[in-house]
Structure 1
Amino acid sequence: MANYEVEMKRYFTFCKSAFCQNFLYTEISEAQFLAKYMPLKKVLNSEFVLIAEHEGNMVGLMLALHDFYCKHEKRLDCKTIARNSSMQYVGVAHELTSRMIKIAKEQQH
């Protein structure tokens, strides 16, 4: 993630679209989103950020963080998983999850 803030703005736009129809969705501004996500820059491993794209557009996102509170084993917490709601992208979240599990195992999480 060469330009973290630009990437976070991209994630905000995608997540807003992906989650806006969810039952407990609460709208937040881009500034509020950035206030929450900019501090993660220090702990976010880019290997734990997976993006699915189709024709140059983001259609899926999975973001996981190392669980710093777990002292007895290495593990990840999935912070965000989202996909475009179009039916043509059914299975994208499953594929991102499968890939994240593979990466976590390779890194002994």
Structure 2
Amino acid sequence: MSAFAIAHLRPADPHPDIAAYVERIQATLDPFGGRFRVHNAVVEVKEGGWPGFVVVIEFPGIDEARAWYDSPEYQEILPLRTQHIDGDTVLVPGVAPDYDASVTAAARRAEAA
């Protein structure tokens, strides 16, 4: 089951370190099967506020996502971004291809009863 690294990054001034981070990140993803699905995209806000942009990276599973984030190679380049761009990053498992939201809804109803 796929998993995702999702980052909500705030607007920032251009800096050479950010360019270096972007140049080097793919090499840190490759050993873990990570692939960009959304990169540096400005979002269309429908509810609430969302200053900045979003990045979504897909991995084969949550173990690979965790291993990538914790890897020495990624930790080495991470400060190139975090010293210049504020943001939030989460790792989240995806749902199975046969996921049915109505099953989740029924479980929630049962919990509430």
When normalised by structure 2's length, the TM-score is 0.26
Which structure has the greater CA radius of gyration? 2
When normalised by structure 1's length, the TM-score is 0.27
